[in-house]
Amino acid sequence: MTDDVRAVARRMYAAFNARDHAAAAEIFTADFYSHPLGTTGPESVTRAWQRLHQTHPAVRVQVEDMIVEGDTVAVRTSVHGVPGERPPTMLEIFRLRDGRIAELWGLSSLRRDP
């Protein structure tokens, strides 16, 4: 199970980096909930990715650490292609259900415009 959970997380970051916004429908559950954004559904992920890619066309996320426990994965990433002296970091925790990301918690040093 650990490898399956790890694969879903890696697939999500690969889709983001490839600008494959349509992949969100396959990666996230229909009732996916983002605690940091207070949004639901894979279409909310698509909108967030699109906004970030429009604001920072060169943005890409690099996985630095990944810890898996049961159906949950914690990932520390660095965000490249955004202004600043040092790449911002993110810490995200995902809970999977039926092979898809169902819930997300996260902290980020990435500045987000309203």
Residue extents of the structural domains in the chain:
2-108
pLDDT at position 84 is: 85
Consecutive 10-residue averages of pLDDT for the chain (114 residues): 90 98 97 96 97 95 97 97 90 97 93 57
Q: Which fold has domain 2-108?
A: Nuclear Transport Factor 2; Chain: A, (3.10.450)
From the list 107, 109, 104, 98, the residue with the least C-alpha distance to 1 is 98
pLDDT at position 107 is: 93
Model confidence over 88-109: pLDDT tens digits? Answer: 999 999 999 999 999 999 999 8
pLDDT at position 113 is: 53
